[in-house]
Structure 1
Amino acid sequence: MSGGGHSVLLVPVPELEPFVRSRWEHYDPALVSADSAFTHAHITLLAPYLPAPTYDDLSLVAAVAARSPAFEFELAEVAAFPDGIVHLRPEPAEPFARLTAQLWEAFPQCPPYAGQLADVEPHLTLDRIGPGVTLESTRSALAAVLPAACRADRIELHWYETGNCHVREQWSLAGANLRVC
């Protein structure tokens, strides 16, 4: 693995993949993955993660996943952070915050967002406010898919590197194959 990339532990959100992938294609086509398993739309749990995790590291992630139940969540309200990042907040957010806390406890050397944020808020990044991008334009573009009923059923380890974005590992959350109707 080269030194130019980084890894991320995340929950994929395939329901928003067409929109999010289109924004990656717009901003940075070199980071659009050719890996069909890679989901550009995601909620980050821990980033950056270890550049070269060992078997024991991966086993710790597997243990967190095995004791964390799969859960339903909704994405509905388009919002923006003060820095202009347009995003969706999952409802409920608590299961994501709990997964982040458990992973950070297992990997204290990997604080969320490298420790740069005082308050880590679970979210799915959509875009950035700028020329041609507003909250209203983003809401309009997503009108046919929001609110989105979603299910967190796995944790994935993604590798991000120019020309080489791919899924490295994935772990099912407890009960991921069970659906309660």
Structure 2
Amino acid sequence: MTNTEGTFITKIQETITLSDTHDGYISCSATYPVNGGSKTATTEVTLSVSYAPKDTSASISPSDLVSAGSWVELSCSSRAKPPASFTWFRNSKHGAINVSVGQVYSFYATEGGEYYCVATNDLGHQRSSVILTRIGGSRVSVCITMKILGIVTLCGAFIIFESWFKLSNKLPKHTNEADVDRVIELQVT
């Protein structure tokens, strides 16, 4: 359609199903011929698209084998609009147990376990994959070993002292036997 100024107006219409990929800028462009060449007109529109949590994942620090009693931190992340809230669960033989609320869950590891987070907003929720905490060498066992070594050392020292004491009582006193004989002779005469 051409208007009175000689400009050409066209209407481009496309129906799209909005998703998280459309959040932000969306642009439309048209290329048209002009005097043996071409020209492109572009327009941008800002879209604010709400969507349920996507790409929900959980991570653990430290990621290696941890010792019993070590501090462990689990973190949850997700793309969501509006922003998601996070809930942490631990798998047990009785089912999933809610253990914490928040993006980060920190605790002292006393045993291994399976944990996961769920990201939730008004439009839906998404669960992360399971994180496995594995307990390796235990600080508790090191402590117990040190106590046992201390007790063995103390008992050994006591046995050595007692043996020395008994042996020292059996040895003759450091007296001069000749002097003892003289004392006896002097008293007899």
Establish whether TM, by shorter chain, passes 0.5: no
In our comparison, the structure showing a higher alpha carbon Rg is: 2
* Larger relative strand fraction: 2
